């Protein structure tokens, strides 16, 4: 039996080294050198060509190399009965949290303004607002969002979270479902999105919903660019309704050279960099899944295809 790997940012060899150390008899192959397609039982990839899965008659599961699996789910040749497994990587939770905290602190503690003041040789103590008075809303309370939210609580911020269902996380007010979304936005001075790309999240932050945020609110998006109406965001910032945004994801990546976000003084961009994780930490999901399947046990972390995550 073989595992076919189409790596993302981390080299395939790094996945192979970790996986074969735990499962020495596993034949690992690197896309596009698939060998005999009938021997391929497992696929590890972020995306494959639309006709790729049709050639694997003995496929047992597909595992993602990235947090989002929408590209796998959209593949036209993926059989309906083949489970897709979500990635899990503790390093990703740590790097995402670090990125989010950087932008929360940069905004709340005026660090961008202090950088400008240094260049202008201005020695000025800007107004300090206690973190208890800063209401932060985290959209998505899974492994990534939950880690971000708990860390913000440790830093004494007033934190709420919004998700599909209620979450019981100490110190975090939980909002759940569409009926609670407006109230969640109305209390969020800083809103952080770590949601996946699904039918339910497409343009979730549109013009009407951005208008529900408190005046001067700040938007941080590290989930998917499809969640945010970019035109509405810029209009809200330019009008003064919002104070700015930090974006790690856009509708089209990379953005065109004439995209207005490049030069906007109140928008900070990073190139899909917030969440990073090496194969050595992510491979355990694959190892566990193969061992469970060999033992006849049910798979963990299986994606709900109807929900998209």
User: Is 272 in the active site?
Assistant: yes
Residues above pLDDT 90, as percent of the chain: 82
Q: Among the options 150, 272, 278, 294, which is catalytic?
A: 272
Rounded-to-integer distance, Cα 20 and Cα 27, Å:
8
Rounded-to-integer distance, Cα 69 and Cα 198, Å:
10
pLDDT score of 73 more than 80: yes
Closest CA to 4 of 29, 25, 27: 29
257 and 169 belong to one structural domain:
yes
What's the number of domains the chain is made of? 2
85 and 225 belong to one structural domain:
no
pLDDT digit string, tens, across residues 137-148: 999 998 899 999
pLDDT digit string, tens, across residues 83-117: 999 887 788 889 999 999 999 999 999 999 999 99
- Give every strand in the sheet of 84-85, ordered side by side: 27-30, 2-6, 40-45, 61-63, 84-85
Predicted local confidence at residue 199, as pLDDT: 82
Residues forming a β-bridge with 85:
63, 302
166 and 286 belong to one structural domain:
no
Establish if 301 belongs to a structural domain: no
Tokens of 157: 């911020």
Mean pLDDT on 238-242:
98
Count other C-beta atoms under 10 Å from residue 135's C-beta. Answer: 18
85 and 97 belong to one structural domain:
no
User: Is 103 in the active site?
Assistant: no
61 and 193 belong to one structural domain:
no
- What's the domain range around 25? 2-89+277-294
CB 161 within 8 A of CB 183: no
Establish if 299 belongs to a structural domain: no
Residues forming a β-bridge with 30:
5
Predicted local confidence at residue 286, as pLDDT: 92
CB 183 within 8 A of CB 207: no
Q: Among the options 29, 86, 103, 224, which is catalytic?
A: 224
Q: Which residue has 């000025």 as its token pair?
A: 124
Rounded-to-integer distance, Cα 59 and Cα 81, Å:
10
CATH number of the CATH domain containing 129: 3.40.50.720
Establish if 85 belongs to a structural domain: yes
pTM metric for this prediction: 0.86
147 and 215 belong to one structural domain:
yes
79 and 96 belong to one structural domain:
no
Tokens of 110: 């005026």
Establish if 102 belongs to a structural domain: yes
């Amino acid at each position: 039996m073989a595992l076919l790997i189409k790596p993302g940012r981390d080299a395939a060899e790094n996945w192979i080294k970790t996986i074969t150390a735990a499962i020495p008899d596993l034949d690992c192959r690197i896309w596009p050198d698939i060998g005999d397609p009938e021997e391929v039982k497992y696929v590890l990839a972020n995306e494959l060509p639309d006709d790729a899965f049709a050639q694997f008659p003995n496929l047992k599961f597909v595992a993602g190399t990235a947090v989002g699996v929408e590209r796998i789910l959209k593949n036209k040749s993926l059989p309906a009965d083949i489970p897709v497994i979500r990635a899990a990587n503790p390093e990703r939770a740590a790097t995402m949290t670090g990125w989010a905290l950087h932008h929360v602190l940069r905004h709340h503690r005026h660090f961008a303004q202090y950088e400008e003041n240094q260049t202008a040789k201005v020695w000025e103590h800007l107004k300090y607002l206690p973190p208890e008075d800063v209401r932060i809303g985290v959209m998505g309370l899974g492994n990534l969002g939950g880690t971000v939210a708990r860390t913000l609580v440790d830093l004494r911020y007033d934190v709420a979270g919004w998700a599909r269902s209620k979450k019981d996380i100490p110190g975090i007010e939980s909002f759940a479902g569409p009926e609670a979304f407006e109230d969640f936005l109305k209390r969020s001075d800083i809103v952080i999105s770590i949601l996946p790309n699904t039918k339910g999240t497409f343009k979730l932050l549109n013009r009407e919903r951005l208008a529900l945020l408190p005046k001067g609110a700040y938007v941080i998006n590290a989930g998917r660019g499809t969640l945010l109406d970019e035109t509405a965001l810029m209009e809200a910032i330019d009008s003064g309704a919002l104070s700015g945004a930090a974006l790690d994801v856009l509708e089209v990546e990379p953005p065109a050279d004439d995209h207005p976000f490049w030069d906007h003084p109140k928008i900070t961009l990073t190139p899909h960099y917030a969440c990073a994780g090496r194969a050595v930490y992510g491979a355990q999901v694959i190892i566990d899944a193969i061992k469970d399947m060999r033992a006849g046990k049910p798979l963990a972390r299986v994606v709900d295809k109807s929900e998209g995550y």
